[in-house]
A and B are shown apart, each in its own frame.
Chain A
Amino acid sequence: METLIPDYRRDLEIRRYPLYIYVLVPLAAVVLQAWLPRLLGRFAYMDLPLLVTVYFALNRRSPIHGTLLGAVLGLAQDGLTQGAVGIHGIANTVCGFLAASVGIRIVVENNLIRMVMNFALTLLSSAIVVFVIRVLLGLAWHSNWLDELLRAAGNGLIGLVLFPALDRTQIRD
């Protein structure tokens, strides 16, 4: 009966990683997100900081952890742009919280589920960014939703490779 209790299952399935993974992977995500568009040009349809946020939120199954990690990575992304700081921060915060909340309730080992989650959360992130810019900041800003769809698809595909690779770095009992 104990296995049916959500808290017990969550504690059982929490994945833990070495400390350097928590530092290096987010840092690499931010650096690559800033550097890869130089090589790929306008075809850089990805959001690596968001992917990392979703991954750790799903596997840690801690909404607080996902919220804070999303906030930090989003603020780091904002720091590299010319816009107001907090636009991506808010978007990644919400996505991190939702990913962790979903991870508590469903098993996310399946690659298809991971891909769908990445796709949906990337679109949600884009929608939040547009909301913040146009509603909260009141700026006249136009969005290209085809690009956002392609970015969500790109995140879904990259997640198929990145998540299994990160799974290998977890600490096993």
Chain B
Amino acid sequence: MEFFLSRYRNLIVLSAALLLQVIGLAVQVRRPVAVAADVAGGPAVHVSKDGRGVLLIRLWAASLVTPFERAIHGSGEGLNGLWIDYVDLRHTKDQNKELQQTIDRLRLEQAELREDALQGQRLQAMLKFRESYIYQTEPAQVIGTSGSSQSRLIYLDRGAEDGLKPDMAVITGDGIVGKVRDVFPHTAQVLMINDQTSGAGVVLETTRIRGILRGNAAGQPQVINILADQRIQKGEHVLTAGGDQIFPRGLPVGVVDNVQRDPERGSFINVVIKPAADLQHLDEVLVITSLDAHLSAQQQADLATSEELKGAEAAADAERKKAALEMEERLPGLKDPNAPATAPALGPDGKPVVPVPVAPKPIPALHPDRFSPGGAAEPSPGSGTDGGSANDAPGSPVDAPPKPAAPKAAPAKPGTAPAKSNTAPAKPNTPAPKTPQLGRAQ
């Protein structure tokens, strides 16, 4: 046994190392949520909404590497300045002479550019306002990568203590970059859109074709699982669709670079995208920490003032409507209470004129008989009916139907107005006086 162990010691160690790692892989495949919280005395674990945690070894690796990356990133600029300012001074004299000539030329151009610069500042301020109005973002700097060609991942210098959480969208001013994956106290991993395991819902701007954005082996983002479509052209803009609950809708993703047929499924195509953001040279990014509208203090104050004014205006309007209703209840008239309100006509004296109710004329019969109004059964004067009274319009045809003379005979009901009455209204429940009396009352 001892001979066996000593002879095959190397192979045994190799086998043990491989076996342990394969078992580790199997555990991750079966149960990908190996959470560092299970380790006694382990560091704080940042668990996302779906319960996904951070592998302890990943936490260790990030904690080991990112401080050095942060230090390199921080000291890089200082060292660069030291080198340029104090060490690398070759050709300085010649450069100084050239620069003097350049200054003279630039002074002439400065006057022209000043106006453009002012306009640019204004536009920039507007854009800044618009951007800050939509989302709450956290600026962050890229301090490192995964270092593996199989993993398109970057590290940010912001972490959980800065409010970052998994599945937050990461963007630049040009377009989307990726989403936050694992979050550590002071750093965070961002899975970029050109990784093969990433996914984002996108839509082609012109054709409105939707698809899933994913990286390919060459590190290019592509929209996969699209049925072959001749309308997709190179240069078409691609935007986020907003259905993945990570990226807000309408953010630029890139433009169509080329269309490739899916090698595994002939009827499908993959649309390779040229990303809008420069994914290879990222320095600063923005992490969208909240999709709610973000208002500055001044904007919030303006909004509150606007709401107050709107509330006061609404209250005054309601008060006016209430007073109008009370007034309408007291007014007698002939108007249908359910009819829509119209502006009352004004008389020559400036007072409102109550319109005279006009009874609709019946349509004349083609073959009049004794039952037809105004036909053979024309009532004789003094027969007890009011037809052909003094209210008939002069010059009306003989066979014209008699106009009703209700205002003359019937008492006015509450809510109706007597004819030609543009005086002060009578009290409710009071019989309306006859028209001549009303005429005298004027």
CB nearest neighbor in A for B283: A38
Complex Cα–Cα for A148 and B218 (A): 11
Within 8 A of B (CB), among A49-101: 63-64, 67-68, 71, 75-90, 93-94, 97, 101
Would you give the 0/1 interface string for A137-159, flagging 1 where the beta carbon is closer than 8 Å to chain B? 11001111001100100000000
A36 CA / B145 CA spacing, docked (Å): 8
- Give the distance to chain A from B76, nearest Cβ to Cβ, in Å: 9
The answer to whether the Cβ of B153 comes within 8 Å of any Cβ in the partner chain is yes
B57 touches A81 (CB 8 A): no
Q: Is B147 on the interface with A (CB-CB < 8 A)?
A: yes
Query: For residues 117 through 175 of chain B, which have their beta carbon under 8 Å from a beta carbon of chain A?
Result: 142-151, 153, 155
Task: Pick the contact of B17: A27, A71, A81, A147 (CB < 8 A).
Answer: A71
Q: What residues of chain A lie closer than 8 Å to B216, measured between beta carbons?
A: 142
A79 and B61 form a contact (CB under 8 A): yes
Query: Given that A63-B10, A79-B62, A136-B25 are contacting pairs, would A143 and B148 also be in contact in the complex, using a CB cutoff of 8 Å?
Result: no
A37 to B55, CA, bound (A): 24
Cα separation A153 to B197 with both chains bound (whole Å) = 27
A33 to chain B, nearest CB (A): 4
Q: Contact: B196 with A141, CB < 8 Å?
A: yes
In the complex, the answer to whether A68 meets B197 with C-beta atoms within 8 Å is no
Which has the most chain A C-beta neighbours within 10 Å: B21, B69, B145, B153? B21
User: Roughly how many angstroms separate A96 CA and B168 CA in the complex, as a whole number?
Assistant: 39
Is A121 positioned at the interface, with any CB of B under 8 Å from its CB? no
Q: Which B residues are CB-close (under 8 A) to A162?
A: none
Docked pose: A50 CA to B57 CA in angstroms: 19
- Given A38-B142, A42-B219, are A77 and B64 also a contact pair (CB < 8 Å)? no
> In the complex, which residues of chain A have a beta carbon less than 8 angstroms from the beta carbon of B21?
71, 75, 86, 89-90, 93
Residues of B within 8 A of A8 (CB): none
Is B366 interfacial (CB 8 A cutoff)? no
Other-chain residue from A38, A97, A143 in contact with B14 (beta carbon distance below 8 A): A97
Query: B57–A78 contact, CB under 8 A?
Result: yes
A25 at the interface (CB under 8 A from B): no
A30 touches B18 (CB 8 A): no
Alpha-carbon gap, A93 to B20, bound state (A): 11
A132 at the interface (CB under 8 A from B): yes
Which A residues are in CB contact (< 8 Å) with B61? 30, 75-76, 78-80
Contacts of A90 in B (CB 8 A): 18, 21-22, 25
Asked whether B60 lies within 8 Å of A83 as measured between CB atoms, the reply is no
* Nearest CB of A to B393, in Å: 92
Q: Are A42 and B217 in contact (CB under 8 A)?
A: no
Contact present for B148 and A85 (CB under 8 Å):
no
Would you list which residues of chain A between 93 and 114 have a CB under 8 Å from chain B?
93-94, 97, 101
Cβ of B145 and Cβ of A82 under 8 Å apart? no
- Inter-chain CA distance A100–B281, complex, in Å, is 38
B153 x A80 contact (CB < 8 A): yes
A144 to B220, CA, bound (A): 12
Determine whether A41 belongs to the interface, using a CB cutoff of 8 Å to chain B.
yes
Cross-chain contact B147 with A93 (CB below 8 angstroms): no
Interface membership of B344, Cβ < 8 A:
no
CB neighbours (8 Å) of B55 from chain A are: 79, 85
A141 to B216, CA, bound (A): 9
Tell whether, in the assembled complex, residue A27 and residue B10 are in contact, meaning their CB atoms are under 8 Å apart: no
Q: A76-B64, A80-B65, A129-B150 are in contact. Are A35 and B17 (CB under 8 A)?
A: no
Contact flag A63-B147 (CB < 8 Å), given A79-B61, A82-B189, A86-B21: no
Complex Cα–Cα for A34 and B67 (A): 12
Binding site for A on B (CB under 8 A): 9-10, 13-14, 17-18, 21-22, 24-25, 28-29, 32, 55, 57-62, 64-65, 68-69, 72-73, 142-151, 153, 155, 181-182, 189, 191, 195-197, 216-219, 280-282
Given contacts A36-B147, A38-B282, A80-B146, 19 further A-B contacts (CB under 8 A): A30-B147, A34-B145, A35-B72, A42-B219, A63-B13, A79-B55, A80-B65, A83-B197, A84-B32, A85-B24, A85-B55, A86-B22, A86-B28, A93-B18, A97-B10, A97-B14, A143-B217, A147-B218, A148-B149
23 contacts between A and B (CB under 8 A): A30-B147, A34-B65, A35-B73, A37-B145, A41-B280, A42-B280, A63-B10, A67-B13, A67-B14, A76-B64, A78-B61, A80-B148, A81-B150, A82-B151, A84-B25, A90-B22, A90-B25, A93-B18, A138-B29, A141-B150, A143-B217, A144-B219, A147-B149
Closest 6 CB pairs of A and B: A79-B61, A81-B151, A33-B147, A41-B280, A142-B217, A63-B10
